[in-house]
Structure 1
Amino acid sequence: EGLEPQVWDPDYGDVLNSHGDISRGRQLIWELFPGAGEELTIYLFHYHQIHPENPGSLLEMYEDFFTILPEYRRCDIEKLVWKKPTFGYIPGHFTVGSRDRIVAFDRLVAIGDAASLQSPLVFTGFGSLVRNLYRLTDLLDTALRHNLLSVKDLNQIRAYQSNIAVTWLFSQGMMVPTGRHLPPQRINAMLNTFFGLLADEPPEVPDTFIKDRFSWLTFNRLALKAARRNPALIPWILEMAGAKDFLLWVGSYLSFTSNALVSGLLKGWFPSLVRRLQPWLEKRSPRLWLQLLAQSYAITAGMGRPEKVNRELKFD
């Protein structure tokens, strides 16, 4: 804490604020979030593939943070109060479908960053954990109460969102390919196109993106609009991602499309039917109940539309 109020209002955040260009082989990005009182959480990060030739020194990143923070937020480093400095790597998994990653073993399930289910664009596991906390808690509670602790049972307990998984191509668009040299302004130009689109939309549209609740229709409408506004965008992404990863993304997009269709057909009645069956079904077949409950969440929370239920969880 310690930023002057005229420099930054602590009630507001700052999302994906790029710094500099990619002349050093990576695009530095700032993010800032309000904390308790006047405290602020500030991140400096970049995306890169795991490869010895890529810039990945945590010490260098730490030095960059303190060197360019005054430029980012016009502050005097000596006047700031540091509560919790930290650094590290956050894993990101480029997901094609909801079942292409095993997150459990017998009696063990990974959640949050350990599961690494989502696109790195959205804070990977931490963001998905927060957004899907009720979903995960409900499924874990069910599995524990009925001793459903096999890998098959626990692997259903995941915070996967199909509408987020499809964004991993955008994450690729913020990574400098290993061993490649691109125009220094390339990633900034792509970010300017994307955020320029959101700035032109009604406030509820960027709000749904920030909260990872955008629909299939919204995603496609904005993607087509971006391609019209900046026709070079698609060739740029193909150049950065490569043909192989682009084809993988097509699979992810088709999965998102099919999930959106299933969700559209079932979300109006299937979750409520599952809840009505609970008193009878859970006692007679706990494993089937867990499967149906997981599917119910998949077509609601898994598409960015949290299921609204009235249920109180009790832990002994």
Structure 2
Amino acid sequence: MLLHLQQTGLRFHRLPPLFNPQERRRVAIAANKRSFYRIPRASAVPSRTQRIMERISNSDEVGGAGGAYSYNALKRLDKLWSSICATPTDSEEIDEVVSRVSGSSNYSDLGGKARSVFDVLVCGGTLGIFVATALSFKGLRVGVVERNILKGREQDWNISRKELMELVQVGILSEEEIEQITSIKFNPNRCGFEKKGDIWVENILNLGVSPAKLLEIVKNRFISSGGTVFEGKSLSSISVYDDITILQLNDGEVLPCRLVVDCMGNFSPVVRQIRRGRKPDGVCLVVGSCSRGFSENTTSDIVFSSSSVKRVGSSEVQYFWEAFPAGTGPTDRTTYMFTYVDAQLGGPKLEELLEEYWDLMPAYQGTSLEKLEILRVIFGIFPTYRDSPLPAAFDRILQVGDASGIQSPVSFGGFGSMTRHLDRLSTGIYEAMAGDFLDAQSLCLLNPYMPNLSASWLFQRAMSARPDANVSSTFINELLYVNFQSMKKLGGSVLRPFLQDVIQFGPLVKTLGLVMLAQPLILPSIFRQVGVGVILDWFVHFVMLGHYTFLSSFIDPVIRPWVEYLPEKNKYEWRRYMEAWKYGAGLDYKD
């Protein structure tokens, strides 16, 4: 009886011996009736997620997105997610990390005599080390500030060889080193639609790269080129003077530089200050695991669409899946479940999604959970803003990578986005440094408006469950299937760029036209799903996508020779305009 009471959350009351047995029984029953309606204590049974995560070693946690695997890290991220959902839309209660100081600095008065001025300081090393190394190779004096030890996570980065070759072209990797860091290769790659059909492609996200090996190589190359790494140090404040910028670190160390490159990711404190704590326009929640014991492990899923919208707590969500063979063993496989949501109160927690994941993943992969050895549990929050990339808001400070919002609002492929833009960014930053064009207006040209990025935001909206849309619970899956079938019919020149986060005007026009011809009755549901206002906003970006395509294809070749004869400041500006046309139209993509 005592055991039963403990298991049901009822209190067992010790009664004084002066009661006779009948009286003791009557009082105990009455007391338990009063206790029955009380909330059970929080220390009851731990969730399945907690039990799984607490029996896994987490000694390999590192910085960067997806680098933490512990249950405590999961709870911290869920707490952060709850605070984002609870933040008022017009919130301005934020920490002022950056301050503007009029006049020139007197660095010697700040305790900086022992250290000379850096050309560039990159804050955030996981992806920032690539920018830092490219700039160091150009002869600049560069430092990297990383709050953890600068090393890559054990979990693979999935990428295409084409994207890795961008690092070779910039000069920070060799083709031989690409082979060294590639832990696994696999083909073909599936875009699957439950109960509808599959589309198979080759060489898309078909490589598993070891971040640990990659960052070790690039870090050593950066140091050997004269770069300096400050590990275990985080940013405390930034003071921007007319001539230099002063970084104050958490341990009191002071670092001066001419330019700060903010590569601290989606939750950069500088970005939070610039955006005044504004809620993101959309969020992608990701959970998953890397497990051992899969018998079928030679192909990958780029995206697998679940058939219908599901309810989690008080929210409705549409689940999508990815799955890749892992480089740690022949039966090791990584599976991700993700969903797009709004940052609103009552949104699903990551732990809630993981509980769903343990239920749904075995059926998705055709392997029972009991047969798997779970190596790591993966989770993340990826916010997106419609006004991205983020323009520079301060002199001498520039956001790059995820901090700038340059990554796709559909895939959030931060590493792939970095490789794609690395040559453009490193060249532009070097020219800005050479000409001392470090005011906010000049730096804004390095994060220009890109209509293809803005146009792709609509796709995230279309893939989000919206309870007020009045569409079928299977509509999102049907819409994706129609679009992918249309792109498949149009050929690889249409489908392949889209799967690598590149939106181009011609392929987009062809796809939309074929969808309208094949499924004209789908239009009303699209309008209900995404909203008329969003479609009108998207149409502006669509027109600008065509405009940028025209400018890059026909105007750029005509004016480029003339630009080379302009004064340095004008030359710098026009080169950035032509880059914006090219990248904003997706014409940098060559298959």
When normalised by structure 1's length, the TM-score is 0.80
CA RMSD of aligned residues (A): 3.0
Aligned counterpart, 2:422: 133
Whether the 8 Å contact between 1:103 and 1:155 is mirrored in structure 2 is yes
- Is 2:414 the partner of 1:147? no
Q: 1:21 pairs with 304, 308, 312, which one?
A: 308
Give the distance between the partners of 1:269 and 1:79, measured in 2 at CA: 63
Give the distance between the partners of 1:62 and 1:108, measured in 2 at CA: 38
Q: Residues 127 and 231 from structure 1, CA distance in 2 versus in 1: closer, same or farther, beyond 3 angstroms?
A: farther
Aligned counterpart, 1:60: 352
What SS does structure 2 have at the residue aligned with 1:123? coil
Give the distance between the partners of 1:144 and 1:266, measured in 2 at CA: 27
Residue identity opposite 1:57 in structure 2: K
Aligned counterpart, 1:166: 455
Whether the 8 Å contact between 1:161 and 1:303 is mirrored in structure 2 is yes
Q: Flag structure 1 segments of 5+ consecutive residues without an equivalent.
A: 309-316
In terms of mean alpha carbon deviation, does 105-114 or 248-257 score higher?
105-114
Aligned counterpart, 1:229: 518
Aligned counterpart, 1:299: 581
Give the distance between the partners of 2:461 and 2:361, measured in 1 at CA: 26
Residue identity opposite 1:27 in structure 2: Q
- Is 2:571 the partner of 1:289? yes
Cα distance per residue 1:82-137 (max 9 Å; x no partner): 56533222112235xx88x5344222222222222465223275543332221122
Q: 2:533 pairs with 240, 244, 266, which one?
A: 244
Give the distance between the partners of 1:116 and 1:46, measured in 2 at CA: 19
Aligned counterpart, 2:74: none
Aligned counterpart, 1:311: none
Give the distance between the partners of 1:190 and 1:254, measured in 2 at CA: 23
Q: Within 5 Å, give how 1:1-316 maps onto structure 2.
A: 6-9=295-298, 12-24=299-311, 25-33=316-324, 36=327, 38=329, 40-53=333-346, 55-77=347-369, 80=372, 84-95=376-387, 101-117=390-406, 120-123=409-412, 127-158=416-447, 161-177=450-466, 179-180=468-469, 182-271=471-560, 274=563, 277=564, 285=568, 287-306=569-588
Give the distance between the partners of 1:93 and 1:22, measured in 2 at CA: 24
What SS does structure 2 have at the residue aligned with 1:21? coil
Whether the 8 Å contact between 1:21 and 1:185 is mirrored in structure 2 is yes
What SS does structure 2 have at the residue aligned with 1:295? helix
The runs of 4+ residues in structure 1 deviating greater than 6 Å are none
Whether the 8 Å contact between 2:552 and 2:581 is mirrored in structure 1 is yes
Whether the 8 Å contact between 1:21 and 1:188 is mirrored in structure 2 is yes
Q: Residues 214 and 169 from structure 1, CA distance in 2 versus in 1: closer, same or farther, beyond 3 angstroms?
A: closer
When normalised by structure 2's length, the TM-score is 0.45
Whether the 8 Å contact between 1:51 and 1:178 is mirrored in structure 2 is no
Give the distance between the partners of 2:492 and 2:543, measured in 1 at CA: 28
Give the distance between the partners of 1:214 and 1:181, measured in 2 at CA: 29
Residue identity opposite 1:58 in structure 2: L
Larger Rg: 2
Q: Residues 114 and 80 from structure 1, CA distance in 2 versus in 1: closer, same or farther, beyond 3 angstroms?
A: farther
Whether the 8 Å contact between 1:128 and 1:159 is mirrored in structure 2 is no
Q: Residues 73 and 270 from structure 1, CA distance in 2 versus in 1: closer, same or farther, beyond 3 angstroms?
A: farther
Give the distance between the partners of 1:307 and 1:173, measured in 2 at CA: 25
Q: Give 1:189 deviation, angstroms.
A: 0.9
Structure with more contact order per residue of length (Cα contacts < 8 Å, sep ≥ 6): 1
Whether the 8 Å contact between 1:215 and 1:303 is mirrored in structure 2 is yes
Q: Residues 293 and 262 from structure 1, CA distance in 2 versus in 1: closer, same or farther, beyond 3 angstroms?
A: same
Give the distance between the partners of 2:577 and 2:459, measured in 1 at CA: 27
Whether the 8 Å contact between 2:292 and 2:374 is mirrored in structure 1 is no
Give the distance between the partners of 1:180 and 1:206, measured in 2 at CA: 28
Q: Give 1:188 deviation, angstroms.
A: 0.9
Give the distance between the partners of 2:506 and 2:544, measured in 1 at CA: 14
What SS does structure 1 have at the residue aligned with 2:410? helix
Residue identity opposite 2:570 in structure 1: L
Q: Give 1:254 deviation, angstroms.
A: 1.7
More helix by share: 1
Cα distance per residue 1:271-315 (max 9 Å; x no partner): 5665xx2xx75xx52x3232122112112233222299xxxxxxx
Give the distance between the partners of 1:207 and 1:153, measured in 2 at CA: 34
In terms of mean alpha carbon deviation, does 26-35 or 244-253 score higher?
26-35
Give the distance between the partners of 1:35 and 1:269, measured in 2 at CA: 48
Aligned counterpart, 1:312: none
Whether the 8 Å contact between 1:162 and 1:255 is mirrored in structure 2 is yes
Give the distance between the partners of 2:430 and 2:445, measured in 1 at CA: 13
Q: Flag structure 2 segments of 5+ consecutive residues without an equivalent.
A: 1-289
